[in-house]
Amino acid sequence: MILGVHVSGAGKIYQTLDIAKGLGCDTMQIFSRSPQSWRRGAAISAEDAKEFILRRKKFKIDPVFIHVSYLINLASPDPRLYNGSIQAYIEDIQEAQSLGVDYIVTHMGSHKETSEDAGIKRLIEALNRILEKTEKEKVGILLENTSGSGSWLGYRFYHQQKILKGLKDKYRSRVGLCLDTAHAYLAGYNLAAKAGLDKMIAEIQEMVGMPSVKLIHLNDAAGELGCHFDRHDHIGKGYIGLAGMKRIINHPKLKNIPMILETPKSTPASDQENLALVRKLGKG
């Protein structure tokens, strides 16, 4: 099992690795900047990036993921937001490259009630532009499935299928999927039941192929099946439940994919408790 958490950091970016190491993580996810604001001020310094790379190697944290800002919307019909999002994404990939990060995780954007097809078309065009501008970088892009609230794309895997097919052939290998278990359940995939989990995995295999899934956001769901209300819960405490989470963790097609917990940080011990439970469930 390759297991980690989303590490929140208020200090130097390399200090997130100390937190991950302290929790016994094999992998981790971070924000490289505030998720609720556009980039302001100086980028991460060369010295801090070097220290990040050194500590990551020392602590054997691999792979490492960055989640992009929530403000980025690569499916927006608003030209200013759309073009600004593309530029911000290019900068994020370049910064991720300087840190030696493996993948950037992104929500697929909101079409803002234009139409799903129009939003997907804009997203494909944005990704092709981003990948062209960063073709010298090795950082991959992972499209995260969503709960389907509002006009957000990505709540069914045929969306990801359309996007991957729309990318230029030479760029397609840099784009994969991030599977969020809470989002899938909230979108209507019944991961609390074996049949529901198997059905979702079969759909992913048919639409994009399981090798495209490079990361699992391992979260329980704080909402009923198909409610589209995006809230995560502690492992075993939500509607997927303990048996459902155990089944996901040990599924032969999922268990070797890196898993990142984005569970609530209700207390300072929350990450430690959730990690301990996942490790216990993974032992049988």
Give tens-digit pLDDT for 160-194. 999 999 999 999 999 999 999 999 999 999 999 99
CA dist., res. 60 & res. 54, Å (int) = 10
Q: 174 — phi, psi (to 5°)?
A: -90, -5
Average per-residue pLDDT in the chain? 94
Q: Fill in the amino acid letter for 21.
A: K
Model pLDDT, residue 113: 81
Model pLDDT, residue 42: 61
Residue 186 · residue 227 · CB < 8 Å = yes
Residue 221 · residue 237 · CB < 8 Å = no
Tokens, residue 122: 């804009």
- DSSP letter, residue 33: S
Peptide bond into 35 cis (omega under 30): no
Taking only Cα atoms into account, the Rg of the chain, rounded to an integer number of angstroms, comes to 18
Residue-number span of the structural domain to which 179 is assigned: 3-282
User: Where is pLDDT greater, at 43 or 281?
Assistant: 281
CA dist., res. 241 & res. 191, Å (int) = 9
Residue 71 · residue 36 · CB < 8 Å = yes
Q: What's the predicted TM-score (pTM) here? A: 0.95
CATH number at residue 132: 3.20.20.150
CA dist., res. 106 & res. 66, Å (int) = 9
CA dist., res. 172 & res. 50, Å (int) = 29
Residue 68 · residue 38 · CB < 8 Å = no
pLDDT at 217 over 60: yes
Model pLDDT, residue 205: 97
Q: Torsion angle of alpha carbons 3, 9, 12, 18, nearest 10°?
A: -40
pLDDT at 127 over 90: yes
CA dist., res. 206 & res. 214, Å (int) = 16
CA dist., res. 67 & res. 32, Å (int) = 8
Nearest CA to 144 among 111, 109, 179? 179
Query: Whose structure tokens read 């032969």?
Result: 252
Q: How many domains does one find in the chain?
A: 1
> Regarding beta strands 213-217 and 175-180, do their DSSP bridges make them parallel or antiparallel, or are they unpaired?
parallel
Query: How confident is residue 36, by pLDDT bands cut at 50, 70 and 90?
Result: low
Helix H, strand E, coil C: the string for 80-109 is HHHHHHHHHHHHHHHHHHHHCCCEEEEECC
Q: Strands, DSSP E only, in the chain?
A: 3-6, 27-30, 64-67, 103-107, 140-144, 175-180, 213-217, 220-221, 232-233, 259-261
Model pLDDT, residue 35: 60
